[in-house]
Structure 1
């Protein structure tokens, strides 16, 4: 049977790069999206996976901050590809970028639910199909350097991303004996559509704060994901491609 991967938030930016890398690696892919804007991107990705890599994929709309939607996403994967999941990539995430005095309870709850609770939901639902596989299985959680250091106006985001690291380490210990590896990627500043839209002088100023002198590419993260999937002795680790901004 072909190997199967689920990726949340897999339609654009870092998620898109990881989705395409999974296809290149020969995985059938379950692509999750939330908004109508992302539906077309996800459909285009699905077509590209079939055309360029000859793998199958399905596109599933789900708000992964909700347990019931996560359940529907996992069930769709099982219904389409069978009773096992080889790789789970928890990548869905949002940010508020708001100072803590002005932020609303609704706003920070939404960040926590999307950036942390969705990871718990997906792990809880997917793990029964990942344990004790002969070839092993892998969970990769997208954290952030914000989970390793403080970032002003990102209290809710940093709290969620630090929680992702704690979850990663706990599950790695709990499921190591059952052939499930659990690791996290904590990206630094990566060139995505959001950064492309900022003033170029501001972008140069941002790059100058990075010891390596440049902003990372989405391929830096998808390449890290590929390494983790292919590293059978790696579990409970946080790998942070960040150009030297922080060295945990």
Structure 2
């Protein structure tokens, strides 16, 4: 489904980002994984090394210099711009509104929102320069649509990702560059491992399918959006939530 595509994936060292790398590689893409966690990236790369000429680079998505350096390295290595980008890098710093510090608000917004904007801009520029018809997939969250107790910073950042996605889709459509967002619900990742068990059991009761999702289910949605099978989809937000809050 993605044979011959060059794909850059942020947040590739664990969770959804790692699953995207594995699914994309299995579908024939050449994968460039980017993450701050070098050890995690090495583990991801080891999982897919036998399927192609994949690479990993350390990248701080909240830094324009780091993001631009990533695109320069990709150009140097592959003599091309990515045809696909998945923005999966994200963090949480959960506290209720009155206890949340300005520092933790800024950290989450800088990675989740500013980081998405910076990579969209850098990848979009590279696609335009190289006249690439591309697909950008931004990982938002159901929380960006519904809000959540203790996550004003996270919810704001993920709502902003939806806004970036829809705006960039309008700007880039005439160049045959598609931009979409995936809104995961509760997925089994390192982020959800910190949720107390009693709250997790209560959450499962609210999910019509009765379980948490797994990262591969998000990655499969990303693969669809990255492929020609979704060639007339742009500016969309696709919820992958097991029916939570339908």
Mark yes or no: TM-score above 0.5. Answer: yes
Q: How far apart in 1 are the matches of 2:77 and 2:40?
A: 21
**Structure 2 partner of 1:88:** 85
Q: For 1:2-35, what per-residue CA distance to the aligned partner results, in whole angstroms no more than 9, with x for missing partners?
A: 421111101111111001111112111111111x
Q: How far apart in 2 are the matches of 1:60 and 1:134?
A: 24
Decide which of 3, 15, 23 is 2:5's aligned counterpart: 3
- The question of 1:40 aligning with 2:39 is answered yes
Instruction: Indicate how the Cα distance of structure 1 residues 232 and 166 shifts in structure 2: closer, same or farther if over 3 A, else same.
Output: same
Higher relative contact order (Cα pairs below 8 Å, separated by 6+ residues): 2
Alignment of 1:202-241 (within 5 A): 202-230=199-227, 231-241=230-240
Q: How far apart in 2 are the matches of 1:179 and 1:172?
A: 10
| Structure 2 unmatched runs, 5+ | none
Q: How far apart in 2 are the matches of 1:135 and 1:155?
A: 37
- The question of 1:177 aligning with 2:174 is answered yes
| Structure 1 unmatched runs, 5+ | none
Number of matched pairs? 242
After TM superposition, give the deviation of residue 223 of structure 1 in Å: 1.0
Q: How far apart in 2 are the matches of 1:66 and 1:58?
A: 20
Q: How far apart in 1 are the matches of 2:166 and 2:92?
A: 23
- The question of 1:97 aligning with 2:94 is answered yes
TM-score of the aligned structures, taking structure 2 as reference length: 0.92
Decide which of 94, 117, 124 is 1:120's aligned counterpart: 117
Decide which of 100, 103, 107 is 1:106's aligned counterpart: 103
**Structure 1 partner of 2:242:** 243
Q: RMSD between aligned alpha carbons?
A: 1.9
Q: For 1:134-187, what per-residue CA distance to the aligned partner results, in whole angstroms no more than 9, with x for missing partners?
A: 772100000000111121111111111011001100111111110100000000
Decide which of 15, 25, 28 is 1:26's aligned counterpart: 28
Q: How far apart in 1 are the matches of 2:99 and 2:194?
A: 25
- The question of 1:12 aligning with 2:14 is answered yes
Paired residues of 2:94 and 2:100 also in contact (CA < 8 A): no
TM-score of the aligned structures, taking structure 1 as reference length: 0.91
